[in-house]
């Protein structure tokens, strides 16, 4: 009998502020999904977007995860240290004519789907330009573990999307695909707000002949005004004084029904229970948003 591939999951926060309740919710879900299958759980810091990075937040994210008992395997990968890997792959894609240079400014574009103005132009190398991937009319089907079957028409819904921005920053869609492949990630658990990015990432995986991970997009947490809890909306950093109370609350929001007698249990005990009883089916109810009364 063939050995089953070990599960490799990951959490990939951007260091744009300290870890807040919403990102801890996602981290915990991805940790439990990996650990409940005896899998590895990796940590990657998505720090390519230097304009959005906030100094010190990578370190504070690591400390917070540690305090909450979410210990990762191996060493932390920083995207900013992999620039040469992305550039080399982009060169190969350019050589195979999978990409083209685009000089359009954001102002020129009125729709979210790029109409392909630069596709058949030869934008000079020394002109400021982004790199776009050529897409085709294919349909991308995938199964999300919670959201079910997804179908996207690539050229109509996404168009030729950017792999390297005009400011030379490698785009998230591209970096994530290269990194997940290099780290042999075969299970991606992340917030529902990234569900729409998945078809683009699957397209790149198909184009480059890479393995496609399993995807699970968990609900996102919003505040009482309807905004996603994110570092941009200045959601406060998660309190560090009582991690066990926060883990208990997160498990409740993950619909895991932790027993009341564990309410004041230490974090390792809570997490042991959660790994043993992890039941993502409880989240398979179509709920994509959890509103908190903060």
Q: Which residues are near ligand GLU by CB under 6 A?
A: 12-14, 46, 176, 190, 194
CB of 258 vs ligand GLU, minimal distance in Å: 25
Sign for the pseudo-dihedral over CA of 167, 203, 183, 231: positive
Q: Give the residue with the Cβ less far from ligand GLU, 194 or 275.
A: 194
Burial of residue 38 (number of CB atoms within 10 Å: 0-12, 13-18, 19+): exposed
C-alpha distances in angstroms, 106 versus 109, 111, 158, 171?
5, 10, 16, 15
Q: Give the residue with the Cβ less far from ligand GLU, 13 or 258.
A: 13
Neighbouring residues of 125: CB distance < 8 A, sequence distance ≥ 6? 101
Give the span between the Cα atoms of 31 and 248, in whole angstroms: 15
Q: Give the residue with the Cβ less far from ligand GLU, 194 or 210.
A: 194
Contact (Cβ atoms closer than 8 angstroms) between residue 193 and residue 37: no
Q: Give the residue with the Cβ less far from ligand GLU, 132 or 190.
A: 190
CB of 248 vs ligand GLU, minimal distance in Å: 24
- Of 257, 293, 291, 289, give the one whose Cα is nearest residue 273: 257
CB of 142 vs ligand GLU, minimal distance in Å: 14
Contact (Cβ atoms closer than 8 angstroms) between residue 216 and residue 31: no
Give the span between the Cα atoms of 106 and 166, in whole angstroms: 10
CB of 108 vs ligand GLU, minimal distance in Å: 28
Give the span between the Cα atoms of 162 and 104, in whole angstroms: 11
CB of 11 vs ligand GLU, minimal distance in Å: 7
- Of 83, 97, 157, 179, give the one whose Cα is nearest residue 131: 97
Q: Give the residue with the Cβ less far from ligand GLU, 14 or 186.
A: 14
CB of 100 vs ligand GLU, minimal distance in Å: 25
Q: Give the residue with the Cβ less far from ligand GLU, 14 or 99.
A: 14
Neighbouring residues of 204: CB distance < 8 A, sequence distance ≥ 6? 133, 173, 174, 177, 210
CB of 218 vs ligand GLU, minimal distance in Å: 11
Q: Give the residue with the Cβ less far from ligand GLU, 25 or 100.
A: 25
């Amino acid at each position: 009998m063939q050995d089953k591939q070990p599960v490799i999951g990951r959490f990939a926060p951007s260091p744009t502020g300290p870890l807040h309740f919403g990102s801890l919710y996602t981290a915990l879900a991805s940790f439990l999904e990996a650990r409940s299958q005896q899998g590895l759980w990796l940590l990657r810091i998505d720090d390519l977007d230097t304009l959005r990075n906030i100094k010190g937040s990578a370190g504070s994210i690591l400390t917070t995860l540690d305090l909450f008992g979410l210990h990762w395997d191996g060493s932390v990968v920083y995207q900013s240290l992999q620039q040469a890997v992305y550039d080399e792959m982009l060169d190969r894609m350019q050589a195979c004519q999978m990409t083209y240079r685009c000089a359009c400014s954001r102002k020129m574009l009125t729709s979210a789907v790029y109409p392909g103005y630069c596709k058949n132009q030869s934008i000079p190398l020394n002109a400021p330009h982004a790199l776009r991937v050529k897409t085709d009319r294919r349909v991308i089907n995938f199964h999300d573990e919670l959201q079910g079957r997804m179908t996207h028409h690539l050229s109509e819904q996404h168009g030729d999307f950017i792999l390297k921005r005009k400011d030379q920053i490698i785009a998230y869609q591209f970096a994530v695909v290269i990194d997940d492949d290099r780290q042999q990630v075969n299970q991606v658990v992340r917030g529902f707000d990234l569900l729409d990015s998945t078809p683009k990432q699957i397209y790149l995986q198909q184009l480059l002949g890479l393995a496609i991970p399993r995807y699970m997009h968990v609900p996102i947490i919003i505040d009482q005004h309807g905004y996603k809890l994110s570092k941009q909306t200045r959601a406060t950093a998660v309190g560090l004084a009582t991690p066990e109370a926060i883990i208990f609350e997160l498990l409740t929001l993950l619909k895991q029904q932790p027993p009341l007698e564990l309410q004041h249990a230490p974090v390792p005990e809570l997490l042991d229970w959660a790994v043993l009883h992890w039941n993502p089916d409880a989240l398979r109810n179509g709920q994509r948003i959890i509103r908190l009364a903060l």
